[in-house]
Copies of this chain bind each other. A is one copy, B any other.
Amino acid sequence: MSNSRNFEEKLRSAGLRPTRQRLEICEVLFDRKETFHFTIDGLQKILKNKLNTKISIATVYNTINSFKNKGYIKEISLNSEKTYFDTNVTNHHHFYDETTSELIDFHDSDVEHLQLRKNLPGKKIKSIEVLVKVANK
């Protein structure tokens, strides 16, 4: 399949060997049109259903951490029991639905010229993230 070929290249370009487990994880994460938000244990459940056998939790963590370090996914700044990740690494922001615990993207351009009047001498800005918490009316 051209996809597994792509994922192989993707992994190699990041200095990671294309193992069976990593390729499966790539399929779940990147073989989709839409942005994908997940937690480690959510991802592990998906993998388990997909494969009828489980990838060890340590491997899932290791792989996700490698991807994060390589910039293939990013961690979302959201204070919740579990850590959320996002396959969308472009600049964007989130709604967090407190009723359903779901995350919904919104684009930079949905925030009118977000611009800071304040800055910190000697520091450089790494990211600006807006989190909008919502709940059922």
Contacts and interface: CB of A to CB of B under 8 A. Distances in A.
B135 A126 contact: yes
A97 B77 CA distance: 14
A129 B132 CA distance: 6
Interface in A49-82: 75-79
A113 interface: yes
Contact of A77 (B77, B83, B111, B137): B77
Given A99-B123, A114-B114, 13 more contacts: A79-B83, A79-B84, A95-B120, A95-B123, A111-B117, A112-B114, A114-B130, A122-B137, A123-B136, A124-B136, A125-B134, A129-B130, A130-B131
A109 B112 CA distance: 14
Given A77-B78, A77-B131, A79-B77, A106 B126 contact: no
B122 A127 contact: no
Nearest to A124: B137
Contacts of A114: 111-112, 114, 130
Interface residues of A, number: 40
B134 A131 contact: no
A115 B123 contact: no
Interface string A79-92: 10001100000000
A17 interface: no
